[in-house]
Amino acid sequence: MLYITLLVCLVLSFVITPFIIKLAFKIGATDCPDNRKVHTKVMPRMGGLAIYVSFLVGSLLISPADPFHYSILIGSFVIVLVGVLDDIYNLSAKMKLAGQITAALIVIIYGGLQIEFINLPFGGVLEFGLLSIPITLFWIVAITNAINLIDGLDGLAAGVSAIALVTLGAMAVIMGNYYVIIIALVLLASTLGFLYFNFHPAKIFMGDTGALFLGYMIAVLSLLGFKNITLVALIIPVLILGVPIADTIFAIIRRRISKIPFYVPDRSHLHHSLLDYGFSHRQTVLIIYLFSAIFSIAAILFSMATVWGAIVIILIMLIALELLVEVLGLINKNYRPILNFLSLYKSRFIKDNN
């Protein structure tokens, strides 16, 4: 039944996307080019509606017996409604945030999904108590927006989300979480059917409808798979979502340095920087796919490593990430501490040998 359902989701997403394209043009859910965007013509958005409808059909066909299931469906409906309205009317940042918080609170309060405690690596338990709801709320809203922020190139957010879903599904197999496996696969099949029309050159954008929905679902699934466990294991979803999380953090730092609000868009995200570095549109997307895959592999290795092995993996990833930030100028062009140190060391080495 699962294989048939996945095939239905894949085909349904593929079949209804052309109708969503026509609908988007008809109701004005379009994206116009500007100096921050890379497309040069008016494009239909709201393509995430095809992903959502396919996912909804798949989840209803399977009807997994899980106490979180219906709260997730209700929450996802709210987040998709916010996305559709934004794709048509361009909602304010405050209205979108209010919708995201509402969707998150549905699974937190009605569904009972909360990060209540974590087991520390060297003994002891850290109880969150009253902070469990704010912490869970912050995670869901942050990841929802992180996926939305990387939705800047054809197929980028959909592809990165697909890689994250594959990894979440693989980790769920290791941990024996049947519900997360099913939902991750259904969502993956629905996303891949849409990706055919969204990859460069895209015929439609997923819009906030898709980016918010995928971000919300990935945030919730990662909590279902990794809540109330060890501190080391809690880092796994952070690694899986390393690319969107890192890009979001750098955007906040960059905007704070420039003294502009964090929600104001700019043209210095990872994909913009790679384009400015000389890579083509398609090459940039594939490179970020590769980054996402590396983070996902690191997450799987991390889950099987000892505590000290996990620390080594984290250090390697942090150093590699720092070098990437400095080379591409993701914070600003003058931020190059490691590269400046290496350059100074190289100069002194050459001088000493002469």
Total domains present in the chain: 1
pLDDT score, position 34: 64
On whether residue 347 sits in a domain, the answer given is no
Q: Does the structure show a pLDDT above 60 at 98? A: yes
Q: Does the structure show a pLDDT above 90 at 210? A: yes
On whether residue 99 sits in a domain, the answer given is yes
The pTM is what?
Answer: 0.89
pLDDT score, position 109: 92
Q: Does the structure show a pLDDT above 60 at 230? A: no
Instruction: Choose among 72, 16, 13: nearest CA to 191.
Output: 13
Identify the band that residue 207 occupies on the pLDDT scale cut at 50, 70 and 90: very high
User: Which of these ranges, 79-93, 189-203, 243-257, 286-300, has the smallest mean pLDDT?
Assistant: 243-257
Average pLDDT over residues 169-175: 87
Average pLDDT over residues 247-253: 84
On whether residue 6 sits in a domain, the answer given is yes
On whether residue 272 sits in a domain, the answer given is no
Q: Does the structure show a pLDDT above 60 at 196? A: yes
On whether residue 117 sits in a domain, the answer given is yes
Average pLDDT over residues 171-191: 92
Identify the band that residue 95 occupies on the pLDDT scale cut at 50, 70 and 90: very high
- What's the domain range around 144? 2-231
pLDDT score, position 116: 78
pLDDT score, position 242: 86
pLDDT score, position 229: 59
On whether residue 67 sits in a domain, the answer given is yes
pLDDT score, position 121: 61
User: Which of these ranges, 79-83, 101-105, 226-230, 274-278, has the smallest mean pLDDT?
Assistant: 226-230
Identify the band that residue 265 occupies on the pLDDT scale cut at 50, 70 and 90: low
Identify the band that residue 334 occupies on the pLDDT scale cut at 50, 70 and 90: confident
What are the contacts of 114-123 at 24+ separation with CB within 8 A?
A: 114/227, 115/139, 115/223, 115/227, 115/228, 115/234, 116/227, 116/228, 117/228, 118/228, 118/229, 118/230, 118/231, 118/234, 119/229, 119/230, 119/231, 120/230, 120/231, 121/230, 121/231, 121/232, 121/307, 122/307
On whether residue 141 sits in a domain, the answer given is yes
Position with higher pLDDT, 56 vs 118: 56
On whether residue 343 sits in a domain, the answer given is no
Percentage of residues of the chain with pLDDT beyond 90? 46
How far apart CA 17 and CA 193 sit, in angstroms, is: 9
Structure tokens belonging to residue 334: 């003058």
